Structure 1
């Protein structure tokens, strides 16, 4: 058990409606954005509009002020004595915006002609004033969403970021969205019709242009690098997000995945991103449709902004119930050379996409609302789970079916070993509300092999339910012996003569998101004394833990915003605890060599493994250490009786593309049973093997090991991850550390290292 969805419990198989908020943007908007214009936009199906904060009059006034200052510098014998120019507060003629209730449906646009990243201090000074005046006025008018164009030059990104950080303090509810291209430059030249301040930078502050560099291809990750610098300086503020422009030609999949992992709040679709179909209507290419679907499946999908696709139609346009009518057969037969009659075809097409989104995978439907939601792992040994928590796991369409198959195979193998007619003793340890007991009885019925079934459960509340099921369930029908006990204290099967007998099959579902994080090894060690020494079978027989480095700014930002100790924790630091989480908005940093069929297969390493039953010699040695008859010396915090369940590993991951590591994503695989005939029943949450071994299984979300300080990776970096499973005989915890290297001239150079993270204070109690 690993997913605590307390408070939900209800699983709705019906697909929730796809939510898509669509806005309209014009880079050179001619009409003032009034309540009447907004009403017209909403009548045809738009949800919002963008609005420039200031008018062309304001731009002219700023340029005039700048020119006056330049003239004063030229006329003065002591230019250093000339004070920097000041932009006076806004005048009514400088802006069309006023405080209105409808402003909640507007996205304000700062002036695209300023250059916050200018190397010329005069231009930067003027730009900062314009920017601050506009943002402050938008906040005053009650417009909380403000879109600002990204830095003009990569060289000035730090300066740009510093200004944005200050602007976030201009309003407590202010949301800044930085407009960035996926790579290269924006599709639309926003300064085509006017003077951009970047053009006025004085020559002595601008570096000479390298002709070769000017003609070279833009840096593929340049735009992402700029964003990373901006959000890092702004300390991953949750009020700073991305307005991502989607180009006509999408970049490679690795860069698409990187942007998908970032906090994209606005998806900007320019007119140039659309193709024309045979009838002349705008459509998105298949790759664009798939990319849009990825964003729409996020827990909080971004708003879609249609840019320069045509003006808002006038009031006399034929509108029926807020939507344009479907085209007539004659209109539908329009040739590619004819102009479509629909004045908002791009909007209509997106609404069609909204209504025809493909179905979500079962795990996404099951976890709706829990994507990227951090939860502390369960501690079923120390906590008595609530019924609703058990209920959530019982909805899994795969896990219990696979358990039944494993039990059936084990029964058939034992029948060969023990002979016909010999009842087989099966104990479900940690029975919960009894789903595995039901599956054991079903496997017995289907194979025709008689079983003697025990249900062992320490939770006194679940024990009540187990007894009631045994009395009322038609399948159970009093055939199950219900035992209230910690499995480690249970003496085992009692024979007809009253003597303690051995169990033939032990069945448990003690695995957590990282396999062993809910102490399955310790529990199964403790109950192994009841298992038959020669032919006893454990289900599961073995399990392995796996991990890979990931970028997830969403989870890192969430952790930053939490108090140092959270109600979701017991004691200790929030960075020292692995979290159960349905990873959704993230990116794999290390991928295997790509193929056309699967171009983004992550490199997931196996950390360690456990198998059951373990060697009796190991348990005997542990018993001696616990009894004090064997002293290994130097063991801190205990006698070392659980040392055989400690583990460690060290692996190197090749990271082809630059990025930021925020932590590790953890998974597991388990062999429930491998029969003598070669049949094998397995479960997996590993993204590489889950599809093959247990497709559509929903019982476990991955686990996330965070980094307190994210690590930057250059292109072709190597990431070395060391991890330990530690124990002091009273509890179990994890420790992890990451190092980053690059190879220069054939030599390995260390670039950075995280601190050692340890969950010891929040360890799982034995």
Structure 2
């Protein structure tokens, strides 16, 4: 029986390990097998042991004595490891272990003696772990009690270790809320205790706040150039920090979630459970393309290790809802949850006393229960499961003929074409109710689907005619010679010859051919030319070019308008991907707007609106109220708008400029005659930044009004603020990312000013963007920095 039995096929599997900070037994093959029989996927092991620590402390003690006698002593050197110093060795099972470096060293110590010894210990351990074949090594994060001053020194050691262990995945262990465990009696051998007082940082320098941990991590990964073998082990505290900080951590490369015993609560059935907030955060992290592993820390030693006759079955998570129901809220009449110390003590006692099922691994069973009862994925998540954070170049449908599979992907959208059919049907009803004249001799409304592809909108136009009772004459215009063949076949086999199929670029089409050889007009133009930023696939230019066939008196364009939207985001994963691409494949990678299903990212400018939802398990049991989406509403602003049809005066002026006549002006600003300059756009928008962060680029979206008539507007949206209300479950478009070459650091309570341009030279269209950071100090707005001016001209969309 598999852990995943009974789960949705698309639900993430939890890979769960057991961690003891003071493991009593060396991890042998037999112990690892026993842990797997219990249901664990991995175990942790220290790289070195107490014997090695004793050697280092003796060396330090000896050195301090010599230093008191003579100040001219070279820094102490630690001899190489011997076999008594380590429980590890090369083996077939070492890949199933997560190795831990010594937690008693202090790489960020301001005392040069302590930092020098720590660095030696660290590199001895990394080199030996690499020799043994360890692939995952956890390193205790920098001591935040030293302030941020020692973080750069710590980061340098990490950067060196990435070279020493060239195949090791290095995971830096960070507290989620900035709080690190205090040095108590269990840490008498901690090197930090031996730091000399003259190197103690000032009280102001070592101030620790909830964001200190993320700030330190940001420094480490920046110095290490977003290395792809560097990630985070995130310690989940008993009480999670603010939603903003949770959201920030979920955008980072979190490879392991460390859940200590003190973070578990005890419910009315005396079972170990996690709070609703913990559940939401874990589920959110698991939705990433590469969900983190989970470590259960200090929940007690593995049961049965002292009884070789004991037969264990692994934990399946088949628990009753009553067993795993949420612990009572604070202040209720039921006994409150234990303190961290009490919870740790409970974990050491017999599970039989505290588990209604007498489960020997109650914490593990609960995690398997969560695994089996994850919230269902949305339509977009199911459709785009393989596309999370996958960078794709935008389509250029004017210069490239799309493949059939590309059309097929679009046609699977469950919302888009249904909404188009609604819009066409409403337009037909309004046309009839208002008694407008048509462009046909028999009173049928003339519809042209321009850029028909394989014909889904043609089918919807015919359906709209049938549902509204309004007769139509339909034209399908398509330049792709391969799609043209499919359209012809559809007309014979599906549409019953009711459609006129024309192979041409829509801008060159002269209109419906009349019996006398002249060309008539079209009443309704229908197109699906929008890209992820609305206008990035040249919908404005295409619809301008075909507007001459539209009935000038009553003509309708579907869509009739669309707006481009954007917001600053932090997306370290995508920036790292682009950095590698720019150094190895394409030096212009940071000047390309990329279509991408954004997954592991964070909004930098938000509004304090929280949305909650109720989730029920498959058996009907209400588990918790939450929303897996970002809990804070992003501040998404409008860049610009396009409307169709254009006023005739605009097209007339454009025609004058085409060809460079004197009355057309002195030429375009960016080259060419300027005939397309009515489609230039510019905006400059300020975004308030509530918490410190790093801007890696701009997440961009669009909204469109397909038609607005007597029954109200029919709209589509990829804007995260409005997509739920306007076109929920639409999957045709992913967002678009406008990246920054250099990550832009933003302090809390600052302001990010974004300048955006849509440029054209009559041959192509491209975008330019830059960001500036400001902060108001004593009433004065001070610029903190400005980015490069990014331009996609070399990769612009050809007209």
Smaller-chain TM-score bracket: over 0.9
Q: Match of 2:477, SS?
A: strand
Distance 1:285 1:756, change over 3 A: same
1:68 Cα deviation after fit: 1.2
The answer for the alignment partner of 2:98 in structure 1 is 107
Does the alignment pair 1:578 with 2:593? Answer: yes
Question: Corresponding residue for 2:756?
Answer: 723
Are residues 188 and 101 of structure 1, via their aligned partners in 2, closer, same or farther at CA, if it must alter by over 3 Å? farther
Q: What SS does the corresponding residue of 2:501 show, helix, strand or coil?
A: strand
- Contact 1:40-1:313 within 8 A present in 2 as well: no
Q: Out of 296, 305, 309, which is 2:299 matched to?
A: 309
1:617 aligns with 2:649: yes
For 1:652 and 1:329, locate their aligned partners in 2 and report how far apart those are by CA, in whole Å.
48
Aligned to 2:165: 171
Matches within 5 A, 1:175-324: 175-186=169-180, 192-207=186-201, 209=203, 218-314=208-304, 316=308, 319=311, 322-323=314-315
Contact 1:27 1:190 in 2 (8 A): no
Q: Distance in 2 between matches of 1:90 and 1:486?
A: 74
For residue 327 of structure 1, report the CA deviation from its aligned partner: 8.0
| SS of residue matched to 1:464 | helix
Report the Cα offset of residue 495 of structure 1: 2.5
Q: 1:16 to 1:345 in 2, by over 3 A?
A: same
> Quick check: 1:565–1:573 contact (8 Å CA) kept in 2?
no
Secondary structure (helix, strand or coil) at the match of 1:743 reads: strand
Deviation at 1:74, TM superposition (A): 1.6
Residue of structure 1 equivalent to 2:548: 529
What SS does structure 1 have at the residue aligned with 2:653?
helix
Deviations 1:215-245 (A, max 9, x none): x8x4121000100110010011011100001
Residue 115 of structure 2, aligned match among 124, 127, 130 = 124
Match of 2:340? none
Distance 1:15 1:455, change over 3 A: farther
> Given the superposition, is the C-alpha separation of residues 14 and 639 from structure 1 closer, same or farther in structure 2, using an over 3 Å criterion?
farther
The 8 Å contact of residues 18 and 355 in structure 1, kept in 2 or not, is answered as no
Closer/same/farther in 2, CA of residues 275 and 426 from structure 1, 3 Å limit = same
1:362-511 mapped onto 2 (5 Å cutoff): 362-415=379-432, 416-418=434-436, 422-473=443-494, 476-511=495-530
Which residue pairs with 2:62 in the alignment? 68
Which residue does 2:568 correspond to in 1? 549
Structure 1: distance between partners of 2:218 and 2:254: 13
Structure 1 residues 706 and 512: CA distance shift in structure 2, 3 A: same
1:640 aligns with 2:640: no
CA distance in 1, matches of 2:182, 2:28: 25
- 1:517 maps to what in 2? 536
Cα distance in 1 for residues equivalent to 2:468 and 2:584:
52
1:90 paired to 2:81: yes
Name structure 1 gaps, 5 residues minimum.
1-12
C-alpha contact (below 8 Å) 2:672/2:761 kept by paired residues = yes
More deviation in 497-506 or 679-688? 497-506
Query: Do the aligned residues in 1 keep the contact of 2:606 with 2:634 (CA within 8 Å)?
Result: yes
d(CA) in 2 for partners of 1:646 and 1:209? 55
Matched position secondary structure for 1:494: coil
Alignment of 1:26 with 2:20, yes or no, is: yes
Helix, strand or coil at the partner of 2:598: coil
Deviations 1:723-757 (A, max 9, x none): 00000000000000100000111111111110100
Q: Distance in 1 between matches of 2:641 and 2:323?
A: 65
Residues 675-690 of structure 1 mapped to structure 2, 5 A cutoff: 675=709, 677-690=710-723
Q: Cα gap change, 1:208/1:701 in structure 2, threshold over 3 Å: closer, same or farther?
A: closer
Q: Name 1:711's counterpart in structure 2.
A: 744
Task: Provide the rounded CA distance (Å) in 2 between the counterparts of 1:332 and 1:113.
Answer: 37
- Secondary structure, aligned partner of 1:466: helix
Name 1:358's counterpart in structure 2.
375
Shift, 1:596, TM fit: 6.6
SS at match of 1:83: coil
What is the CA distance between 1:594 and its match in structure 2?
3.2
Of 143, 167, 172, the residue aligned with 2:134 is 143
Partner of 1:673: 707
What are the ranges of 5 or more consecutive residues in structure 2 without an aligned counterpart? 1-6, 326-333, 336-351, 613-629
CA deviation profile, 1:511-534 (whole Å, cap 9, x unmatched) = 000000000000000011111111
- Paired residue for 1:339? 354
Question: Structure 2 CA distance, aligned partners of 1:133 and 1:728?
Answer: 60
1:693 correspondence with 2:710: no
TM-score normalized by the length of structure 2: 0.89
Kept after mapping to 2: 8 A contact 1:44/1:319: no
Secondary structure (helix, strand or coil) at the match of 1:594 reads strand
